[in-house]
Structure 1
Amino acid sequence: MTEKNQGTPAPERLQPSGLVRRFLSRDKTPVSVLFLSALVGLGAGLLSTLFEIAVHWVSEQRTEWLRHEISNMLPLWLSAFLISALLALVGYYLVHRFAPEAAGSGIPEIEGAMDDIRPVRWWRVLPVKFIGGLGALGSGMVLGREGPSVQMGGNIGRMVSDLFRLKDKEGRHALLASGAAGGLAAAFNAPLAAIMFVVEEMRPQFRYSLISIKCVMISAIVANIVFRSISGQQAVITMPQYDAPLLRSLWLFLLLGMAFGIFGVVFNKLVTMAQDMFARIHRHDRRRYLLTGTLLGGSFGLLLLYVPEMTGGGISLIPSATNGEYGISILFILFLARVATTLLCFGSGAPGGIFAPMLALGTLFGTFFGAIAQQLFPELGLQPGMFAIAGMGALFAATVRAPITGILLVIEMTDNYDLILPLIITTLGATMLAQVLGGKPIYSQLLHRTIEKEKMANREQSTVVNT
């Protein structure tokens, strides 16, 4: 019996060490790249979470300065203007002087880097985007922190690749994409939406492979764990939990989606028009650029005093709108006003994103639409907040052209899983109509403009040298 047992080894699959060896022998993904993707997620999660905390701190400090210090020496309105102007100046100066690629959202830069047509200079982008973003967002401008978080996360991915001297091209690409996913997962506490954003929105640049998918998932998970460990596990937006609407009311959600499909195409065109307008104003001259940005930032300091609803990224505005704090006419006026302020801030080239402002716009118009639907069809038992949630996903889908990401993002941010069907209908209607109207995804559009401007600048420079 003993000899028989000695001659028959225990099956390897029953041993833990055997399972590991079996997995490693069958899985062709380099373990080192998977480990590095976790490291990227850790870095992206920490940086994005610290960025959020720092933005809140700067905003609170600005308010404290106004209340206790400067208001004793200067009029309140002048103090508010000067503080926000100074904060905005920091952001615009750092971008123009040290890292022009840190202007705006930064997501087009990551997409270009994934396509090997844009460089990633992490050593200058990371400090400029972090500090410059603090200045721009802290001044009260209508900008979001998700764009900077995605760009900083992508730069963390490239930094890790460089520091560990990773030569494999596919591995470097995977870590870049992993950083972008980690940044978004930490920015919105939405890991599934972050994974889908890279896979869906960045589909022209993302190289689908098993290693890339694994790395993106690992990074998003680790980054989200870091965020939740520091900031808690609650949803980013505190909203009521809505029951699923009646099936006979779903046509209203399709109608809302079609309205956002039209607006999404118009909005994307307005963004490029705003960028062209600011380019004509400052003519790429540093003094004019800084003066324009400083005056714009100071103006938002005044708005913070008198009309705070028109300032900031808008995430804090969403619960107020959905809880019925504004009448129908005020909702529409706020929507139009924030369209204008979003275009001014994002078009100026300030280091900040457009994700959060778009979600706020979707909420305002969705709530406005829902309030009207509630009055016209009281028998359906509709609540305006349902349309607010659907509107967030619809505007995102119409402008970014990533409907699945929009659905997941809104569900994870609001914890309203029962609204998934109306969300799908609304985002599908918005996406299809935007495509029929010839609209282009906003980030691809911005990347194309950046490349074209760079080519024009190179041609002008070569012409000057030749003459």
Structure 2
Amino acid sequence: MSNAPTEQQDDLQTPRPRSSVMRRFLAGHQSPLSILILAVFVGVFAGLLCTFFDLAIDWVVDQRNLWVSEHDGVSFFTIVAVVITSALLSAFGFFLVKAVAPEASGSGIPEIEGALDGVRPVRWWRVIPVKFFGGVGAIGAGLVLGREGPSVQMGASVGRMMRDIFRLKDEESQHTLVASGAAAGLAAAFNAPLAGIMFVVEEMRPQFKYNLISVKAVMIASIMATITYRSLMGQGAMIPLPADYEVPLVALLLFLVLGLVFGGIGVCFNQLVVMTMDKFEQIHQNKLSRFVGLGAIIGASFGLMVMVLPSLSGEGVALIPEATEGKLAIATLVLLFLARTVTTLICFGSGAPGGVFAPMLALGTLFGTTFGMISMHLFPNMAITPGMFAIAGMGALFAATVRAPITGILLVIELTHKYELILPLLITTLGATMTAQALGGKPLYSQLLQRTLAKQKAKEETQEQTAQ
């Protein structure tokens, strides 16, 4: 009689590594529980990644400011040094995008929407490092870009990475984890868990597959990412505004008017984004040297602005408290709005690895404050302040461009902690969304995804013709 142990006994005697046990459990149990467990990991890792992304950008900016202050402030020497370093940082980000991961260009959100729809790949092994270091370079150089786009794409890439690590085979798991990572990325970028959840459910509604498991996974990932972010960065509002706003009911009509105006602005802004992207492609012609050279020129230009005109550089979040407090004259607000619209279009349209949420929030604040100050002059007896309209404007421009009004409302409230402005925000974002729809405008990220797919199809047809 043989003394050889059976295969089952051998399995019991030989302990397996924990990672292997976890992988085999999750791969063999395509159950709701396994997906929800992985959503926890996705949220934590996406939260860590996006938080460190924030810290890395802040470190670059702080080091530049510290160096300038230690060398006698603004002078010819410090201006030249900052211009050169900004050019190098920006060129580095542009190089990584063009040479390593072209899908990391821009915000990356259209790529994730395409991935959820099954028409775009998620190559996390190259997107994550390119988006991280390229985004640090471009945003740290002073370009008018937001951190949320890279955070969403990196978060979604973490979701796909988890799916690959644990070798889940079904498409449903991949879809759910990618969507969960996208929500976690936005939640960590803005310290806004509700906005992260609603962004996936509302903005990505054409691609997101609704079911109890996918919604729960998105919620879990967003919660875990926010907990991770707050553990490292604190729990305060990202845009603290000290004033309390009590909006008189008679003034609500003004918020509707503001929303109607923003609807038209949002449609024009989306069209200008696409036109700017097309123009930049005509300039660099998809050649590496031209693309990187263009990045260096843009970086040098915004490095100069950092030193000479700082209000026209960066994501613009620092402008929001100043504008809401009514410290700027109407003429200054109008000039800043127009100038930052141009700089936002240049930076985002160039293909740099960065988002547009934060710059849009700044633009909405500037125009909203302008509208509020004009309204105060027209209706001096009405108990209104510019800050009310500034905060409403933040949500209105977001709603008009992205066409996600509920996400815009939640995002603004979570950023500012101004819960008393829910009603004005509802009215303003509703007016902006309805006007944009009536004018025939399309959501920004849907337009960009369609543009990417059209270019992809044209490239495939060219390759087929060449092969024949």
TM-score, normalised on structure 2? 0.92
Contact 2:197–2:219 (CA under 8 A) maintained in structure 1: yes
Equivalent residue for 1:381? Answer: 383
1:332 to 321, 334, 359: 334
Cα offsets for 1:125-148 (capped at 9, x unmatched): 000000000000000000000000
Cα offsets for 1:83-126 (capped at 9, x unmatched): 11000011000000000000000000110000000000000000
1:440 to 439, 442, 458: 442
Partners of 1:115 and 1:279 in 2: how far apart?
26
Partners of 2:76 and 2:428 in 1: how far apart?
50
Equivalent residue for 1:240? Answer: 242
Partners of 1:209 and 1:250 in 2: how far apart?
37
Shift of 1:458: 2.0
Question: More deviation in 325-334 or 455-464?
Answer: 455-464
* Runs (5+) with no aligned partner, structure 1: 1-27
SS of the residue corresponding to residue 249 of structure 1 reads helix
Contact 1:66–1:79 (CA under 8 A) maintained in structure 2: no
Superposed counterparts of 1:21-420, under 5 Å:
30-68=32-70, 75-420=77-422
Equivalent residue for 1:17? Answer: none
User: CA distance change for structure 1 residues 311 and 72 in 2, over 3 Å: closer, same or farther?
Assistant: closer
SS of the residue corresponding to residue 314 of structure 1 reads coil
Q: 1:295 is aligned with what amino acid?
A: I
Contact 1:71–1:79 (CA under 8 A) maintained in structure 2: no
Cα offsets for 1:28-87 (capped at 9, x unmatched): 952111110000000110011111111000111122344447999972322121011000
SS of the residue corresponding to residue 233 of structure 1 reads coil
Shift of 1:465: 3.2
Partners of 1:432 and 1:343 in 2: how far apart?
24
Partners of 1:414 and 1:86 in 2: how far apart?
35
Equivalent residue for 2:24? Answer: none
Partners of 1:360 and 1:110 in 2: how far apart?
25
SS of the residue corresponding to residue 379 of structure 1 reads coil
SS of the residue corresponding to residue 381 of structure 2 reads helix
Partners of 1:82 and 1:431 in 2: how far apart?
42
Equivalent residue for 2:8? Answer: none
Partners of 1:67 and 1:84 in 2: how far apart?
17
Cα offsets for 1:218-256 (capped at 9, x unmatched): 000000000111000001101134333111111100000
SS of the residue corresponding to residue 467 of structure 2 reads helix
* Runs (5+) with no aligned partner, structure 2: 1-29
Partners of 1:60 and 1:228 in 2: how far apart?
21
Partners of 1:221 and 1:73 in 2: how far apart?
46
Question: More deviation in 71-80 or 260-269?
Answer: 71-80
Q: 1:100 is aligned with what amino acid?
A: P
> Identity of counterpart residues, as a percentage?
60
Cα offsets for 1:3-31 (capped at 9, x unmatched): xxxxxxxxxxxxxxxxxxxxxxxxx9521
Equivalent residue for 1:13? Answer: none
Partners of 1:67 and 1:412 in 2: how far apart?
34
Aligned residues: 439
Partners of 2:134 and 2:353 in 1: how far apart?
6
Contact 1:62–1:83 (CA under 8 A) maintained in structure 2: no
Contact 2:71–2:78 (CA under 8 A) maintained in structure 1: no
Equivalent residue for 1:430? Answer: 432
Partners of 2:284 and 2:433 in 1: how far apart?
35
Structure 1 stretches of 4+ moved >4 Å? 67-74
Cα offsets for 1:401-436 (capped at 9, x unmatched): 000111111011111111111100000000001000
Contact 2:272–2:345 (CA under 8 A) maintained in structure 1: yes
Partners of 1:52 and 1:376 in 2: how far apart?
42
Partners of 1:324 and 1:264 in 2: how far apart?
24
TM-score, normalised on structure 1? 0.92
Shift of 1:168: 2.4
Shift of 1:190: 0.6
User: CA distance change for structure 1 residues 192 and 419 in 2, over 3 Å: closer, same or farther?
Assistant: same
Question: More deviation in 76-85 or 102-111?
Answer: 76-85
Partners of 1:260 and 1:450 in 2: how far apart?
27
Contact 2:74–2:307 (CA under 8 A) maintained in structure 1: no
Contact 1:243–1:419 (CA under 8 A) maintained in structure 2: yes
User: CA distance change for structure 1 residues 70 and 376 in 2, over 3 Å: closer, same or farther?
Assistant: closer
Cα offsets for 1:240-288 (capped at 9, x unmatched): 3433311111110000000000000000000001001101111111111
Equivalent residue for 2:457? Answer: 455
